[in-house]
A = this chain, B = another copy of it.
Amino acid sequence: MPKLVDHDAKKIEIAKATWKVIVREGLDNATVRNIARETGMSVGSLRHYFPSQSDLLQFSMELVSERVATRIREKNMMTAESPVMAIQDAISELLPLDEERRVEAEVWFVFSAKALVDARLKQLSDQVYNDMRQGFEWAIQSLRKLGLAREDLRADLEVYRLHALVDGMAVHHLLHPDKLTYRQMVDTLSYHLRSLCK
C-alpha cells in the first residue's frame, strides 16, 4: 500500500503558497515553478495535485471565498451587544482587518480583475457576488424588522450602497493602506450603519 497523504490538506497548502506568491510578486509571476519553489516541492509533485495551472488558480480562488464564507457562518451573532453591532461585526469579517484577511482580500481583488476576461473565474465571481448581496439584503431587512431602521429608507438602494461601500473601502485600504486605515474603515462602517437607524 502506498504512502498516506491527505490530498485535500496538501492542496490547501499549495493554494496558500499560491496566495503568497501572488501577493508578493503578482499574478503574472504566479507560475507553476515559482509556486513549486514556494512550497518546496518539485514541479512534477505540484502537477500531481493540480493537472494544470488553470486548475490551481481556480482552486486557490475558490478557497478564498470558502474561507470568508466559513468565517461569517461560524460567527456567533448572539454575543454582540446589540443587533446593529452584530451586523457590524459580520460585515467587518469582509474587511481586511488583519494580515490573513488582507492576503485573502488582495488575492480576491487580483482574481476579480482577471475574471473580467476569464469565463471560468467569472462564474465564481458572479456566484460570490450574489451571495454577498444576499447577505447585505439580509442585513438591511434585519434593521427594518427590528424597527431600528429609519422610515424613509429605500431598501433596494441601501443594499447597493452598503455593498459598494464595503467593497470600495476594502479596495481603497488594499491599494492605499495608510490613506484609509483599518480604524477609519471601521469608523466609517459604524457611522454608516448608525445613519440608517432612527
Contact = CB atoms under 8 A, between A and B. Distances in A.
Interface of A: 23-29, 106, 109-110, 112-118, 125-126, 129-130, 133, 154, 157, 160-161, 163-169, 171-172, 174-176, 179-180, 184-185, 187-188, 191-192, 195
Contacts of A164: 164-165, 168-169, 171-172, 180, 188
Contacts of A27: 113
Number of copies of chain A assembled together? 2
A114 B26 contact: yes
B157 A191 contact: yes
The A interface is mostly helix, strand or loop, or mixed, namely: helix
28 contacts: A23-B117, A26-B114, A26-B117, A26-B118, A27-B113, A112-B113, A112-B171, A116-B174, A125-B175, A125-B176, A129-B172, A129-B176, A129-B179, A130-B179, A133-B179, A157-B191, A160-B169, A160-B180, A160-B184, A163-B172, A164-B165, A164-B168, A164-B169, A164-B172, A164-B180, A165-B165, A165-B168, A167-B168
